[in-house]
Structure 1
Amino acid sequence: MPGNGARRLIRMFHLISAVIEREKDRLSELDGAIGDADHGITMSIGFLAVNGALARLDLDRTMPADVLSVAATAFLNAVGASTGPLYATAFKRAAQALADREEETLGLAGQAAMLGAIASGIRDRGKGERGDKTMLDVWIPAAEAAADAAARGDPEAAAWAKILQTAQAGADATRTMVATRGRAARVGPRSLGHMDPGAASAVCILGAMRDAFCEG
């Protein structure tokens, strides 16, 4: 039966969109140093489209996996750049990870499964790895931290504190890397010293997820 999990995910996407709107200028500035200076705008368009699509759902009939499937389609339809297929695949994988779960309130185990699916979806679609100076330098360690916390049975607040600490460290580490994937790879060594904008936006997304799950 549909439950609170779908509502938590819808609130999560509202919070993601809000933080991206607040940070979109900074994200585009980061992108300007090594890319096309449009990352913040692209992410804003994508998550506004997601929330528009989610607003049409009947929450009394919606499961958590349905929310993520709708988000995947909406993001892909709105964002034609490389980020679109990456996050669309991520949300589609997350939907698949939650499809067989019976926990409707999305406890830490479900949250960890979702983060793991997002990370693997981005990795598989982009053919990248940790260390390539991309959003994977945030998503992979964040997913690992979530899995470890779930295995230990940590409280959600403590788990998410560690997830965000790990995510921020991953984003900061991209300053020391030379880009080998995406548009940033075109500038080669000149990407050194700059934070990857996709990593920065991933930290924003994870922060919103923490707020949705720990305060919602």
Structure 2
Amino acid sequence: MLDAAFMCRWMYATAAAVDREAARLTELDSAIGDADHGANLKRGFTAVAAALDKEPPPTPGAVLALAGRQLISSVGGASGPLYGTLLRRTGKELGDAAEVDRAGLAEALGAGVAAVAQLGGAAAGDKTMLDALLPAVEALGRSFTEAAEAAEAGALATVPLRARKGRASYLGERSEGHQDPGATSAALLIAALGEVAA
């Protein structure tokens, strides 16, 4: 069973991964976006870690809701609202339960991903974070490891795609041949979950 401490470890692991990969995320974003994805997410997850240090919430849902609020208030660009919505909605779905199992987390995360799709108006194959998140949620029903692998594969699969949503969509065919930065950071989030579960 996964408790509040587990969710805190997940957020800390994500913050560490984003910190480590910030330059690569920004490099990917410089090809097809605003060249600020790494810096923005690093600022956001640093704020999440600081908030959790200050007052760790008592339930898994409250941890993710707090993380989502921090991201919305501290991250510029599109990624703040998108990641914030993902975690807030997932937290809301988990409710006030003291513990959750993997299947329950998969279901809640699925609701979070659906909220992101609604907010951004994107679908699978649009070359966005959803290309990593949708297969990850499906695989999470089976195992944490499979979820991390599915997210990574989904991010890599964005390379040949033409972007249909977000800033990259303005580039048309020039967006082809580049890995999507949002899908890449989403894969980091899911990889951190797998790491903590292991």
TM-score by length of 1: 0.86
Of 166, 181, 188, the residue aligned with 1:197 is: 181
State the 4+ residue runs in structure 1 displaced beyond 4 angstroms. Answer: none
Check the 8 A contact 1:103/1:110 in 2, yes or no.
no
Larger Rg, first or second structure (1 or 2): 1
**In structure 2, which of residues 68, 77, 80 is the aligned counterpart of residue 81 of structure 1?**
77
For the 8 Å contact 2:67–2:87, the answer to whether it is kept is yes
Kindly provide the amino acid, as one letter, of the partner of residue 119 in structure 1.
V
TM-superposed deviation, 1:15: 0.5
Q: Is structure 2 residue 53 aligned with structure 1 residue 55? A: yes
Q: State the Cα distance separating 1:138 from its structure 2 match.
A: 0.5
> Alpha carbon RMSD of aligned pairs, Å?
1.6
Specify the code of the residue in structure 2 equivalent to 1:93: R
Counterpart residue number, 2:125: 131
- Give, in angstroms, the shift of residue 111 of structure 1: 2.5
* Structure 1 residues not aligned, in runs of 5+: 150-158
Measured in 1, the distance between the counterparts of 2:193 and 2:111 equals 15
1:10 corresponds in structure 2 to: 8
**Is the contact made by 2:8 and 2:56 (CA closer than 8 Å) also made in structure 1?**
no
User: Is this contact kept in 2: 1:118–1:139, CA < 8 A?
Assistant: no
Q: How many correspondences in the alignment?
A: 198
Q: Residue in 2 aligned with 1:155?
A: none
**Is 2:95 the partner of 1:99?**
yes
For structure 2, the 5+ residue unaligned runs are: none
The answer on whether the counterparts of 1:174 and 1:194 sit within 8 Å (CA) in structure 2 is yes
Pair 97,31 (structure 1): closer, same or farther in 2 beyond 3 Å: same
The counterpart of 2:113, out of the listed 119, 129, 148, is 119
Q: How much has 1:198 moved relative to structure 2?
A: 0.5
2:156 is matched with 172
Q: Secondary structure at the match of 1:129?
A: coil
Tell me the SS of whatever aligns to 2:61: helix
Normalising by structure 2, report the TM-score: 0.94
Distance 2:187 2:19 in 1: 14
What residue is the counterpart of 2:62 in the other structure? 66
Distance 1:182 1:68, change over 3 A: same
CA shift, 1:57, in A, is 1.5
Q: 1:134 is paired with a residue of what secondary structure?
A: coil
Q: Residue 114 of structure 1 aligns to which amino acid in structure 2?
A: A
